[in-house]
Amino acid sequence: MTRLVITGGTIIDQRGERRGDVAVEDGRIVEVGVDTTAALTGDRTLDATGCIVSPGFVDLHVHLREPGKEEAETIETGSRAAALGGFTAVVAMPNTDPAQDSVAVVEFVRQQGERAGLCEVLPSGCITVGRNGDHLAPYGELSAAGVHLFTDDGNGVQDAQLMRRALEYAKPLGIVLAQHCEVSSLTKGAVMHEGSCCSRLGLPGWPALAEELMLFRDIELVRLTGVPMHFLHLSTARSVELVRQAKAEGLPVTAEATPHHFTLTDEMLESYDAVYKVNPPLRTSDDIAALKAGLADGTIDAIATDHAPHAPHTKEAPLDQAPPGMLGLETALALAVTELDLPMQRVLALLSWNPAAIAGVADRHGRPLEAGEPANLCVFDPTAEWTVVPANLASKSRNTPYAGRTLRGKVRHTVFAGDAVVEGGVALR
Amino acid sequence: MKHLLSVEDLTADDIHRLLELTDHMVEVSSRPIPKVPALRGKNVVSLFFEDSTRTRTSFDTAAKRLSADTMNFAVSSSSVNKGESLRDTIETISAMGVDAFVVRHKSSGAPQMITRWTNACIVNAGDGWHQHPTQALLDCYTIRTNLNRRDGFDGLRIAIVGDIKHSRVARSDVQAFTRLGAHVTLVAPPTLLPPSLDGWPVEVSHDLDSLLADLDVLYLLRVQRERMDDALLPSLEEYSALYGLTPTRAARLAPHALVMHPGPMNRGVEMVVDPSELPGSVILQQVTNGVAVRMAVLFTLLGSGSAASIGESA
């Protein structure tokens, strides 16, 4: 049996921070040598000098494009990007073709993830069949097949009655419904945030209200039904306030924010470069400040990337024709470290154990680093500076809005199910 | 100046220089043989991804009067309909040797995107709701000559009436008129204004009648029938009653006031009165001046030497 040891790092998990070496055997942590002078030894050593050793990250929101759009990404290339970003589990959004509204499709997605072997790919299910907003998807069958998070992401569920029924039906299953908040009648043709910038650029606007209105409706549905909901990619200041209020009232709601929404503003669209087109759109500096405050005070539970690969030629189109979305898996940690002025343990809560709980995988991801725990780990250097070069990314696509940006914080090793899948910043599979 | 993408990129001095050059081009156009060799050997390609007979013809005439070679690339006859990307289209035509692209596109920002894929000059001939800079220049030239305002528009009162929200002409005209010193009022129902006017140096009114007597220029925009489908207007009849130029309203204009329109007009909607019976109408002059202004733009981007070099006939 191979014994893998991670030496010289600083462990940070939900229990706190300490210097320590970690030994892994057969998929589990077998020994943690805290504050000992004698380093642990093993058959294989991962050097963590100057690094933080933490539970692996969990991304609640990735688009892996398979099946249906393999020219943009496959489950294998997306899993590799995830592993390089320090993620050991990702929730695959259901807007594939065919959509993830049947056991056959979610099983396929899970198996492709297992074949790639780089992280755990957790298929989400649709709220409605085909994400069309008309009929409930078979939550019972999908839940029995291991699906925990259900969403029509890319579309908000427009029909209030249908959304109410979805929550009621979901109640005994213990699943979580996740909403892409967008009242579509307010965003017809919209390509960017509605405000002074879109008015000057002559582009149709996506008003903050379109998000906030559905978020408000769904919070009230949670109040009515008592069924938990998760809110995807909050983008506005008022959304943060609505969730803060709901939590203060004790409602079972959780929320995520993406790195691009807390780092970039709508003024990026002045370039008319479709790499900055995303849904919901980039907002204003006031919204960024509110998102950061929400990440700091626990209103927002998780950082999720909304990793959305698109083939280069589709992004080389005018803004109204290009698809929305940005890459995120390989830059998330660095953006959180560089742009959020938060204690490292808080950053890791947002990236690891909080989303693990929302995704229903808290039994194996985001665990404390102790003997007997599953070995899904990330080792990263919080001070290493690196420059984002699109061609060097593992994703099949190149649509990162951070090309040329120098960021701080780089993943050195990722251990998934006890095996090193990234070593020295290089994917081994 | 490498490209003409937006009036936003032009200073008041830039605009004045182009208008002075337009004077030369008007003179050239008035000759028995209105043609000079200034751009001989230059290849000007019209890339119209959206129909526009008048703007395309105007640019084409301008280029020919300067002896440039011209080529028309209309979308219906191109491989764009076969799924070729904008980038591939631009790179392919550029490879044939192009000095300037005149670009009309239904998407805001398309001309700016195109600059990434070619070394040719780009002239924006209208992009989405965004900009139509040569229209703004020909509008400035028309006001300048008719109201004898060679030194600028200080103190001029201009109302732009109609669908401001969806209008590239309005965005360009607001910037050009105010840069030259005019006082601009936008007149429209709130549904046809942009969601935010932060940073626009304009006033807004919903009461055309109260403005009419003080105006030096009344600029009407086309109001399109499809606006009713988006619940922006109850009916064209109501628009016409509140914002259209009726004979009653026309009679209240000052005698020197100009009436302008970028065309094509909607008779009976924004233009209820017959414009041929309006003494202040300069709508056809706008079209005429369009050719000279576009000659000035093409010469500025592609020509060598001074305006004097356009003196001799071809």
Q: What is the pLDDT of residues A99-121, one digit of tens each?
A: 999 999 999 999 999 999 999 99
What's the pLDDT band for B311 if we cut at 50, 70, 90? low
What Cα–Cα distance (Å) separates residue B40 from each residue in A218, B108, B125, B296?
66, 32, 22, 15
Q: What is the pLDDT of residues A415-426, one digit of tens each?
A: 999 999 999 999
Q: What is the pLDDT of residues A61-91, one digit of tens each?
A: 999 999 999 999 999 999 999 999 999 999 9
Contact residues on chain A for B112, CB-CB shorter than 8 A: 271-272
Is A74 part of a structural domain of the chain? yes
Do residues B126 and B144 both lie within one domain?
A: no
The whole-number pLDDT of residue B76 equals 65
Q: What is the pLDDT of residues B274-298, one digit of tens each?
A: 999 999 999 999 999 999 999 999 9
Do residues B69 and B128 both lie within one domain?
A: yes
Query: Could you give the strand order of the β-sheet that contains B202-205, starting from the edge strand earlier in sequence?
Result: B202-205, B183-187, B157-161, B217-220, B258-260
The whole-number pLDDT of residue B313 equals 59
Average pLDDT estimate for B89-100: 94
| Continuous H helices in B151-243 | 168-179, 208-211, 236-243
Is A226 part of a structural domain of the chain? yes
Catalytic machinery residues of B: 54-55, 82, 104, 132
pLDDT at A16 > cutoff 70: yes
| CATH code, B240 | 3.40.50.1370
Range of B22's domain?
7-132+287-310
Do residues B242 and B162 both lie within one domain?
A: yes
pLDDT at B314 > cutoff 60: no
Contact residues on chain A for B86, CB-CB shorter than 8 A: 316-318
A97 in Cβ contact with A342 (< 8 Å): no
Does the ipTM exceed 0.95?
no
Number of domains into which chain A is organized: 1
Minimal CA separation from A418 to chain B, in Å: 46
Q: At what angle do helices B12-29 and B133-146 cross, to 10 degrees?
A: 70
Range of A300's domain?
56-358
Nearest chain A residue to B6 by CA distance is A201
Supply the DSSP string of A319-347, one letter for each residue: TTTSPP-B--TTTHHHHHHHH----HHHH
Q: At what angle do helices B53-65 and B133-146 cross, to 10 degrees?
A: 70
Rg from Cα positions in chain B: 20
pLDDT at B86 > cutoff 80: yes
Question: Is some CB atom of chain B closer than 8 A to the CB atom of A49?
Answer: no
Counting residues of chain B whose pLDDT is more than 90, the rounded percentage is 86
A6 in Cβ contact with A48 (< 8 Å): yes
Counting residues of chain A whose pLDDT is more than 90, the rounded percentage is 97
| Burial class of A35 by CB neighbour count within 10 A (0 to 12, 13 to 18, 19+) | exposed
pLDDT at B131 > cutoff 60: yes
Q: Can you tell me the distance from the alpha carbon of A155 to that of A167, in angstroms, rounded to the nearest whole number?
A: 17
For B95, half-sphere exposure in the C-beta direction (CA atoms, 13 angstrom radius) is 6
Rg from Cα positions in chain A: 21
Higher-scoring residue by pLDDT: B73, A349 = A349
Average pLDDT estimate for A254-276: 98
The whole-number pLDDT of residue A338 equals 98
The whole-number pLDDT of residue A329 equals 98
Do residues B295 and B215 both lie within one domain?
A: no
Average pLDDT estimate for A17-37: 92
What's the pLDDT band for A32 if we cut at 50, 70, 90? very high
Helix (H, G, I), strand (E, B) or coil at B305: coil
Q: What is the pLDDT of residues A134-182, one digit of tens each?
A: 999 999 999 999 999 999 999 999 999 999 999 999 999 999 999 999 9
Do residues B144 and B275 both lie within one domain?
A: yes
Average pLDDT estimate for B207-215: 97
Chain-chain contact of B113 with A194 (C-beta, under 8 angstroms) = no
Q: Catalytic pick from A21, A101, A266, A306?
A: A306
Number of domains into which chain B is organized: 2
Chain-chain contact of A203 with B109 (C-beta, under 8 angstroms) = yes
A354 in Cβ contact with A64 (< 8 Å): no
Q: Can you tell me the distance from the alpha carbon of A388 to that of B227, in angstroms, rounded to the nearest whole number?
A: 44
Is A389 part of a structural domain of the chain? no
Q: Can you tell me the distance from the alpha carbon of A316 to that of B85, in angstroms, rounded to the nearest whole number?
A: 8
| Continuous H helices in B147-246 | 168-179, 208-211, 236-243
Contact residues on chain A for B194, CB-CB shorter than 8 A: 198-200
Q: What is the pLDDT of residues A194-216, one digit of tens each?
A: 999 999 999 999 999 999 999 99
Q: What is the pLDDT of residues B27-82, one digit of tens each?
A: 999 999 999 999 999 999 999 998 888 899 999 999 999 999 999 987 765 666 66
Question: Is some CB atom of chain B closer than 8 A to the CB atom of A199?
Answer: yes
The whole-number pLDDT of residue B309 equals 63
Distance of CA B28 to the CA centre of its chain: 21
Is B126 part of a structural domain of the chain? yes
Count other C-beta atoms under 10 Å from residue B201's C-beta: 13
Is B264 part of a structural domain of the chain? yes
Q: What is the pLDDT of residues B234-274, one digit of tens each?
A: 999 999 999 999 999 999 999 999 999 999 999 999 999 99
| CATH code, A109 | 3.20.20.140
Is B119 part of a structural domain of the chain? yes
Q: Are strands A3-7 and A44-47 parallel, antiparallel or unpaired?
A: parallel
pLDDT at B175 > cutoff 60: yes
Is B2 part of a structural domain of the chain? no
Nearest chain B residue to A317 by CA distance is B86
Is B1 part of a structural domain of the chain? no
